[in-house]
Structure 1
C-alpha cells in the first residue's frame, strides 16, 4: 500500500481535514493511551500538517515546526498512525514524508523530537539519537531525540 501525503499550513486545511486529524489524534493519544491531556495546544496554527491517506481515509498524521516554534531546532510532533493501519509500514512512510517535508520547507538541518520511550528504536531507524534521560510528558515516558 502506498499512502498519499499532503502537507498543509493550518489555514489551508479544510474543515474535514482538521476534524479528521483531531479525531485521529484523540483516538490514539487520548483514548488508546488512556491519557487525559489537552491535545489542542495552540501550536496547530504554527505547524505544517502532514496528512497521510489510504483512499479517502486519514491513516497517518504529524506536525512540522520551524526552528523556535516548538524546540530550538526544526521539529516533528504528534506522529500518529490509525490503529487499524499499523503493521503496514505507515509509520515509516509518515516519518520519511515528514522529514522530506521539513527539509523541503526549511533546508537540511538538525531535527529534534520528543519521542515516547517505547518508540525509541523506531525513531533510531530513521537516524535519530537520544539526547536526554527519560522524562514524563503527560504521564507518559518520553525521551528527547535529535537527527543531525
Structure 2
C-alpha cells in the first residue's frame, strides 16, 4: 500500500483522474446518487490517498478522503469524500485511512475540532474514532446523514 497526502496542485493530472474516477464509482454509480461532486473545494483541500500497484498495471485507488481546512465547509476543519474501494472493504483499510486523517488534521489544525457529515449508518464506525453525533439525521442527496464532531487535539 502506498500512502500520500498531497495538496491539490501536487496531485498531478493522472492521480487526480484516478481519484475522481474512484469517487464517481462509489458515490454516483455504486450508491446510485447523482450529485455535484466537483464542488470547488478540492483545490483548497488536502487529499489523503492509499494506492495499490499490481504488476505493470497503473496504480489503483484503494482508499481516499479529503481534509478541508477550518472555514472552508464548516467553522471547524472537516473530512469529506471518504471512500474505500469495494475490493478493500472489510480489511481495516477504512480505519487506517481515518486514523491517518485524524493525525494529519491534529497536526495541521491542532486547535480545531474535526467535523464530518457522515452517512448515518456509519455512526458507530466514526464513533469508534472519537467522533460524537452533533446533529439530527438529515437527508443529503437521498442518503441519511448526521454531522459528527471530534474535539481538537490541543485541549
| More displaced stretch, 50-59 vs 7-16 | 50-59
Distance 1:63 1:52 in 2: 12
Give unpaired runs (5+ residues) of structure 1: none
Where do residues 56-75 of structure 1 align in structure 2 (5 Å cutoff)? Answer: 56-75=59-78
Where do residues 105-124 of structure 1 align in structure 2 (5 Å cutoff)? Answer: 105-124=108-127
**Equivalent residue for 2:31?**
33
SS of corresponding position for 1:121 = helix
The answer on whether the counterparts of 1:5 and 1:97 sit within 8 Å (CA) in structure 2 is: no
Distance 2:76 2:111 in 1: 11
**Equivalent residue for 1:135?**
138
Give unpaired runs (5+ residues) of structure 2: 54-58
The answer on whether the counterparts of 2:132 and 2:149 sit within 8 Å (CA) in structure 1 is: yes
2:7 matches 1:9 = yes
1:59-82 CA-partner distances (Å, limit 9, x unpaired):
000000111011110111001000
TM-score for the superposition, normalised by structure 1: 0.94
TM-score for the superposition, normalised by structure 2: 0.90
Distance 1:107 1:127 in 2: 15
What number of residue pairs does the alignment pair up? 146
| More displaced stretch, 50-59 vs 76-85 | 50-59
SS of corresponding position for 1:78 = strand
Cα root mean square deviation, aligned: 1.1
Bigger CA radius of gyration: 2
Task: Give the C-alpha shift of residue 108 in structure 1.
Answer: 5.0
